């Protein structure tokens, strides 16, 4: 009876509490920042009728460029990805820090467009009739060092694209074909100013006869938000800082998108770099004064906005239900939840879902000393709040010695709790390592018969990203294993939590691991 009651409680927690890991909606007409306590880097936004859609960078993670939807800019859910895989062979292996950077989303001629660059593969565009439908992806220009593109269709029908360049403080303007599918010239430098170092991530808009380019400057951890304004699309552009950290604790508040509401309000979505949590998403009010936007609230009376931690919700005319991006997965659907991403282009035979469990195959990934840096089939998702616990039930069915499967915290340093096959034995161990470090730390627990290779694995993440792994054979009593682990961000992304099953041998394997569920709780 005691075990039954415990399991019932666990199910209730999985169904209810997990959704409240981080809730920005205060329920009294106000919200708190961040509105998404997760790594949605370089967000851009568009309003479509009474819905808002947000896209964000995905770098080497696949499927790429998540699409989130909201009815009030505060409550968000994941509804799609722009692409399943990048059509470049190198992305079949992790390309850390590469992949899709700073996408922009726009609507033109009854179609939705997402533009993005990768550092070494050039400019891409994806087009769809609706953000929640399939997108058609196309490479427009194969070029290096372009970044952060954003289109604008002018009132006269002409189309333009603004972009920045890798490791620079200069913005360029290109003429595009009217359908947005071709770049028609080499581009013209339209802004360069030493007082705005590392200017990037430009977002193009037109208002009251002026062209505006919203662009972050000063670098990710400690920069600010700049806006450029001109009466001619080619300039000259005036520059004005419109949001900075000021006296707040919100470092580097910048890089995002501005949206206008039918109520007349304007709002700005941006990120804050939060170390292992990645670049979390904030929402700021915008006021227009003398033809310039000011983001946040001018607390210092210096004419520059500062980010707010709490504010009244946007006036969208309706009260919207509380909803948060997906986390837990019971594996009852035929496909993985939208919260999951691989570390590279996914393989067709990496997993199956049936009978309410996920089966990960022991994919061949030849590695030395447990180095997971170049392993593609890591199934991961973002940290969703300052503190949380993840628990999963795993059954391990290996074939070859060295195969391992378990629960993982991944970044430039990583740690995991896993079953490992060692010759005729199965061992449980907590492992920690860093790329190219030859002697990863390992805490072996015990050897168990192969037929008993079933356990509950858990990781608890404290505020600050400090992780503790534990295990159980009955899902009641949990025993910590190994030392605490300080999670670390990856290359341009936050730390991630998830599952893996690999075969580090030359030979192929029919081994696998089954996971019954993956549950977040407070």
Active site residues: 42, 200
Is the CA virtual torsion 298, 304, 307, 312 positive or negative?
positive
CA 391 to the chain's CA centroid: 21
> Strands 496-503 and 363-364: what pairing?
parallel
Looking from the CA of 194 toward its CB, the CA atoms found within 13 Å total 0
- Minimal CA–CA distance to 164: which of 154, 156, 172, 175? 172
Helix (H) or strand (E) holding 26: none
Distance CA 254, CA 265 (A): 19
Which residue do the tokens 């594996």 mark?
Answer: 331
Torsion of Cα atoms, 326 then 331 then 337 then 343, to 10°: 110
Nearest 5°: the CA angle 390, 339, 419 is 45
Q: φ, ψ for residue 88 (rounded to 5)?
A: -135, 125
Distance CA 7, CA 486 (A): 30
Q: In the chain, what is the greatest distance between 2 CA atoms, to the nearest angstrom? A: 76
440 CB-contact burial (10 Å; exposed 0-12 / middle 13-18 / buried 19+): middle
Are 467 and 327 spatial neighbours (Cβ–Cβ below 8 Å)?
no
End-to-end CA distance of the chain: 25
Here the tokens at position 483 are 């030392």
- Minimal CA–CA distance to 352: which of 343, 360, 342? 360
Classify residue 245 as left (phi > 0), alpha (psi -120 to 50) or beta.
alpha
Three-state secondary structure readout of 215-270: EEECCCCCCEEEEEEECCCCCCCEEEEEECCCCCCCCCCEEEEEEECCCCCEEEEE
Cis ω for the linkage preceding 34 (within 30 of 0)? yes
Distance CA 133, CA 329 (A): 22
Judged by DSSP in three states, 276 sits in helix
> Strands 479-486 and 188-192: what pairing?
unpaired
């Amino acid at each position: 009876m005691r075990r039954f009651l415990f399991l019932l409680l666990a199910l209730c927690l999985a169904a209810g509490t997990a959704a409240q890991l981080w809730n920005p909606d205060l329920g009294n007409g106000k919200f708190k920042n961040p509105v998404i306590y997760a790594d949605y880097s370089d967000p851009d936004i568009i309003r479509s009728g009474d819905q808002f859609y947000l896209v964000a960078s995905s770098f080497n993670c696949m499927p790429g460029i998540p699409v989130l939807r909201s009815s009030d800019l505060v409550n968000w859910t994941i509804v799609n990805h722009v692409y399943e895989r990048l059509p470049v062979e190198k992305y079949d292996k992790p390309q850390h820090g590469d992949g899709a950077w700073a996408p922009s989303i726009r609507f033109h001629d009854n179609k939705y467009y997402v533009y993005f660059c990768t550092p070494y593969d050039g400019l891409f565009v994806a087009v769809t009739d609706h953000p929640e439908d399939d997108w058609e992806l196309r490479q427009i220009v194969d070029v290096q060092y372009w970044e952060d593109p954003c289109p604008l269709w002018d009132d006269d029908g002409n189309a333009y694209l603004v972009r920045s360049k890798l490791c620079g403080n200069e913005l360029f303007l290109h003429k595009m074909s009217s359908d947005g599918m071709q770049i028609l010239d080499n581009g013209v430098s339209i802004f360069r100013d030493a007082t705005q170092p590392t200017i990037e991530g430009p977002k193009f808009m037109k208002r009251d006869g002026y062209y505006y380019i919203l662009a972050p400057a000063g670098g990710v951890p400690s920069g600010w938000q700049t806006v450029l304004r001109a009466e001619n699309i080619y300039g000259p552009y005036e520059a004005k800082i419109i949001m900075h950290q000021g006296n707040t604790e919100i470092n580097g508040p910048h890089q995002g998108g501005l949206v206008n509401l039918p109520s007349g309000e304007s709002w700005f979505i941006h990120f804050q770099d939060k170390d292992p949590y990645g670049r979390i998403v904030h929402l700021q009010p915008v006021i227009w004064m003398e033809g310039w936007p000011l983001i946040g609230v001018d607390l210092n009376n210096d004419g520059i906005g500062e980010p707010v931690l709490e504010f009244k919700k946007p006036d969208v005319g309706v009260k919207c239900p509380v909803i948060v991006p997906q986390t837990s997965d019971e594996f009852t659907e035929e496909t993985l939840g939208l919260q999951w991403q691989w570390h590279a282009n996914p393989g067709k035979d990496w997993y199956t879902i049936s009978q309410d469990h996920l089966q990960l195959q022991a994919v061949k990934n030849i590695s030395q000393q447990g180095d997971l840096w170049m392993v593609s089939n890591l199934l991961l998702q973002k940290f969703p709040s300052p503190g949380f616990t993840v628990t999963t039930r795993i059954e391990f069915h290996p074939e070859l010695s060295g195969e391992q499967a378990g629960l993982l915290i991944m970044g430039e340093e990583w740690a995991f709790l896993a079953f490992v096959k060692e010759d005729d034995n199965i061992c449980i161990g907590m492992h920690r390592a860093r790329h190219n470090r030859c002697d990863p730390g390992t805490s072996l627990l015990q050897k168990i018969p192969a037929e008993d290779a079933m356990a509950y694995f858990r990781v608890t993440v404290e505020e600050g990203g400090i992780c503790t792994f534990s295990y159980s054979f009955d899902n009641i009593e949990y025993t910590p294993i190994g030392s605490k682990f300080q999670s670390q961000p990856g290359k341009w992304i936050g730390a991630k939590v998830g599952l893996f099953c690999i075969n580090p041998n030359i030979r192929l394997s029919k081994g696998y691991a089954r996971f019954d569920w993956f549950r977040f709780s407070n």
